[in-house]
Amino acid sequence: MNGICEGRVVVVTGAGRGLGRAHALAFAAEGARVVVNDLGVGLDGTPDADSPAARVVAEIRAAGGEAVAHGADIATTPGAASLVRTALDTYGRLDTLVNNAGFLRDRMLVNLDEEEWDAVVRVHLTGHFLPLKHAAAHWRAETKAGRPPAARIVNTSSGAGLLGAVGQGNYSAAKAGVVALTLVAAAELARYGVQVNAVAPAARTRMTERTFADRMAPPETGFDTMAPENVSPLVVWLGSTACTGVTGRVFEAEGGRITVMNGWHRGPTTTNPTRWTPTEAGETTRALLAKAPQPAPVYGQ
């Protein structure tokens, strides 16, 4: 298969279904050899009876591509280390890491218990950090050995991480953390030839089928705007050498729309040459807020 990822080795986590599956198939269609990671669990993190990663590998191979399954828990150090090792042992290299794995345990904050908080933060945030850490350690070693890579990391945030979402305090916090992790990783890893970006996708998957219940039917044009396959072209491009020079950025992707997200930036400001009193600080802050645009509403507000 020829394409913009010809010869590259790509790892995709959470690739057994939904967005991850779409990404894995799209990378393979562009010539990549793919490590398909999926723990094979339900939406709440409990084990499923089948092996979705193996099915995706079979799809890729049936289309003439190369792929291997990986079923370990990448939110653990042994699992993340074995993920990178699988790519190296199978294909002799690693070029791109797509962090995508996740699940939901939605609750309003007053009903959200500690286990539900920890589980979602662990899978989404730790599940990004550990594969990133082990992949970056490999690329650093390659650079020090005189083999600087053209490496890419694509992280998965969410509109909930950018704006917040009612009933998803744990998920929103984890996905906001993914954005911050992306910015830090882009700054720290640039010296090793690693570009790091994030996407905030909107697509119909197991995790979002209720959210997008009113958008289930494809429009008359035949273009299903909520299909996960619509997000994958941007992810594939960010995972290729074609995106050279693009790093530390966050993109929204939905249907045929791609948006560059600007993130936090300094708005109206003023400085006092001495310490404020609480009353002065409050009056000044209200004046600054009057000059600032209103924040976008939280999803579900």
Choose the catalytic residue: 82, 158, 172, 240. 158
Specify whether 157 is catalytic.
no
Quick one: how many helices (H) and strands (E) in the chain?
9, 8
CB 300 within 8 A of CB 167: yes
Residues for the chain: how many in total? 301
Choose the catalytic residue: 82, 91, 157, 171. 171
Q: What does the alpha-carbon distance between residue 156 and residue 228 come to, in Å, rounded to a whole number?
A: 13
Specify whether 299 is catalytic.
no
281's enclosing H/E stretch is: helix 278-291
CB 68 within 8 A of CB 101: no
Based on its alpha-carbon atoms, the radius of gyration of the chain, rounded to whole angstroms, reads: 21
Q: How many angstroms separate the Cα of 230 from the Cα of each of 29, 146, 224, 252?
A: 14, 38, 9, 12
Specify whether 91 is catalytic.
no
Choose the catalytic residue: 175, 192, 232, 240. 175
Q: What does the alpha-carbon distance between residue 27 and residue 33 come to, in Å, rounded to a whole number?
A: 8
CB 11 within 8 A of CB 98: yes
The residues annotated as belonging to the active site are 158, 171, 175
